[in-house]
Amino acid sequence: MSQTTSPDGRIASTASRPLRIAVAGGGKMGQHHIRAILKLGASVRVVAVADPSADSQKAVKALVPDAATYGTLDELLAREQEVDVVHVATAPHTHEALARTALEGGCHVYVEKPFVETAAAAQRLIALARSKGLKLCAGHQLLYEAPARQALELMPALGRIVHLESYFSFRTVRRMANGRVPLRADLQLLDILPHPVYLLLCFMEAAEPDERTEITAVEVGPGGTVHALVRRGQLTGTLIVTLDGRPVDSYMKLVGTNGMVHADFVRSTVQRQIGPGISGIDKVLNPYRLARQLAVGTTTSLANRILKKQRSYPGLSELFDAFYTGIKGAGELPLSEESILETVRVCERVAHVMGAAAPGEAQMPSGPRTFVTGGTGFLGKEVVKSLVQRGVPVRVLARRTPPNWEQMPGVEYVAGDLGNASLPAGALDNVDTVIHCAAETAGGWAEHQRNSLDATERVMRAAAAAGARRFIHTSSLAVLAEAKGGATLDESSPVDPQSKARGPYVWGKLESEVLAAKLATELGLEFRLVRPGPLVDWRSYDPPGRLGKRVGNIYVAVGSKKDQLAVIDVATAGRTLAWMSQHIEQAPAVLNLIAPTIPTRRELVERLRRTNPDLTVVWMPTPVLGALSLFALALQKLLRPGKPATNVAKVFASQPYDTSLMVTVAAAVERDAASARPRHAPAGQGDAAADASERDAVLV
């Protein structure tokens, strides 16, 4: 019978009764742990959870009503005398301290990935666990998913392994459901990095069991793409992790002298080609074999997930079960100390290279700063880029400091959340102009009140108090009222008096615009209002939301093909706002920022077809949209009586616009860029001006 001895002499049997499990962290990941533990039945029992959040404690109680809840792990261990295992499912920077607390309390410890942030910290925990006769496990659950297990079983059939590739591409979290600011992109990358790393190391160890692992090269490219080479004996493995690569994917590829295995962790399938495959018949039939394997495997995997009602991560319960079995002495531990340590070591090396990938040194020009809120967003980045190219000193406010690869040399970055707190001390020192690009882009009424209206008032009052003189506010073209009787909308057109019928976004933009104009008069700020149309990037085209919606590989385009849809290239918008900030006396009081020549919906869809040749386009005519909109309005009033109903037809509607003012402004921006262009640069070239393709795109 296995026993665990705690520092105070307490001895608890772990073979004759269920293991008593405590979880540190009751958030999303902690709840996944609890669900996975519950799947193991009567052999284990969740007895307590530690989390300071009342909401997390409530969510935990819904899963395990009998579990006790505490604010801290220290409190939990002081009150719960017979905890066998502690799961650490908190933020990565807390892992070492909490794991140490659990070990010193006589508990075995499972630590969610990333295990810890440095190899030195991993070694400290491993040494402490050894000294106390306790067991450690890391959150390497992909090793217990079906694709990994099948691929390991097939390895001997592949002959001598000559190539191993671990690939992971993912999309970063842009916003959190609980309203908190998500981790910045580079930290999200480091958070998932252990998955592809431990997969690669596991298969390399299986191929070369008697050798040691060595990291030979690590590179971090633009946008957060990591390439690493890892050597073990005569075998070199390739690690690729990317934030930008699409589609989202996760796979392990094994190539040997007698075939190939592709383990797909997104679809939970394995495709294999066993045998040399060099004959003509092999070359003909292999694609069909792979297609059959993919179709059957994907269908089977999807059916299993639905039938089993999989709510926790695949492989998690299996890894827990293996760890608990090892604790009871009935089997080997699922992970060796070496595998945990090597995974941390590789991740630490990548983190070091990412940290060193800082922007080049650049002296910020002297003089008053231009302050850009939302300067790391889609529009804000282009504004900052154009200002830097003009030699303007720039200070950027963003909810979080951007990754090193996104920072521009010579730009000051200040982290702050205008919706929830005052600006950081000194953020507006020596600022003469504010370009306010930050605003809420999703969420409900409360989010738009906080992050559009409240944020606008906060930054305007702070700017005036700090001595800033000029303020440019970015609103949205969507705030204008619908044109009547064939009229054309221009800068003097009225705003929509029924903005709430257009949804929270339009309401937030309109109300913050009205508030900004009022405060500018009150505070004595020189004020300019800019209303961009839907932003597009001709360099990497993604259609505007008002054009339609993508569903898988089908694009539903809405409205008449001949209708014009006012859009603006984001690079052009950035140059225009930068020009306005430097020539505010010449800039119009109000500007509808749209392409001087407005493209039709057909032209925008054709552009999409060129960049997505496999896309199927389905048109939804305006009458059909109108009928669906009436149904949606009735349904909203029925389900949410007393609350504003969104008119879907208005959201997708096309309006006629007078672009004469924008034509004049665009010409002024181009003249100014031409005057700043180096004499040796041909027209249309140079950082200060749009290249020819961009100018052509604007004049679609």
Q: Report the SS3 class of residue 481.
A: coil
Q: Binning pLDDT at 50, 70 and 90, where does residue 178 land?
A: low
pLDDT score, position 554: 94
Q: Do 643 and 580 form a contact (C-beta atoms < 8 A)?
A: no
pLDDT score, position 175: 62
Residue 341: pLDDT over 70: yes
Question: Which distant-in-sequence residues (6+ apart) come within 8 Å of 303 by Cβ?
Answer: none
- Of 28-32, 77-81, 174-178, 631-635, give the lowest mean pLDDT range: 174-178
State both tokens at 81.
Answer: 């005398």
Concatenate the DSSP letters of all residues of 150-187 into one string. Answer: HHHHHGGGG-SEEEEEEEEE-----S-TTSPPPPPHHH
Is 369-698 the same fold as 146-308?
Answer: no
What mean pLDDT do residues 368-387 have? 96
- Of 134-148, 378-392, 405-419, give the lowest mean pLDDT range: 405-419
At 24, which helix (H) or strand (E)? strand 19-24
Which CATH entry fits the domain spanning 3-140+318-341: 3.40.1030.10, 3.30.565.10, 2.60.40.10, 3.40.50.720? 3.40.50.720
**Which CATH number does 369-698 carry?**
3.40.50.720
Percent of the chain with pLDDT over 90: 72
What's the pLDDT tens digit per position in 1-12? 234 444 443 334
What's the pLDDT tens digit per position in 494-508? 999 988 877 899 999
Q: Do 452 and 436 form a contact (C-beta atoms < 8 A)?
A: no
Q: How far apart are CA 332 and CA 342, in angstroms?
A: 19
- Of 13-17, 58-62, 303-307, 527-531, give the lowest mean pLDDT range: 13-17
What's the pLDDT tens digit per position in 197-231? 999 999 999 999 999 999 999 999 878 899 999 99
Q: How far apart are CA 315 and CA 313, in angstroms?
A: 6
Which has the closest alpha carbon to 688: 570, 575, 569? Answer: 575
pLDDT score, position 642: 75
Q: Which residue has the tokens 């639905």?
A: 306
Residue 648: pLDDT over 80: no
What's the pLDDT tens digit per position in 442-474? 888 999 999 999 999 999 999 999 999 999 999
Question: What are the boundaries of each domain within the chain?
Answer: 3-140+318-341, 146-308, 369-698
Q: Report the SS3 class of residue 281.
A: helix
pLDDT score, position 2: 37
Mean pLDDT of the chain, nearest integer: 89
Q: Do 423 and 383 form a contact (C-beta atoms < 8 A)?
A: no
Residue 236: pLDDT over 60: yes
Which has the closest alpha carbon to 373: 311, 464, 438, 321? Answer: 438
pLDDT score, position 595: 97
pTM of the model: 0.81
Q: Binning pLDDT at 50, 70 and 90, where does residue 176 land?
A: low
* Domain 146-308, architecture per CATH: 2-Layer Sandwich (3.30)
pLDDT score, position 348: 97
pLDDT score, position 427: 95
- Top pLDDT among 75 and 621 is at 75
pLDDT score, position 362: 60
pLDDT score, position 272: 96
Which has the closest alpha carbon to 199: 127, 281, 247, 265? Answer: 265
Concatenate the DSSP letters of all residues of 284-320 into one string. Answer: HHHHHHHHHHHHHHHHHHHHHHHHTT--SPTTHHHHH
Question: Which distant-in-sequence residues (6+ apart) come within 8 Å of 652 by Cβ?
Answer: 546, 548, 558, 559, 625
What's the pLDDT tens digit per position in 573-595? 999 999 999 999 999 999 999 99
Q: Are strands 369-373 and 394-398 parallel, antiparallel or unpaired?
A: parallel
pLDDT score, position 284: 86
pLDDT score, position 202: 98
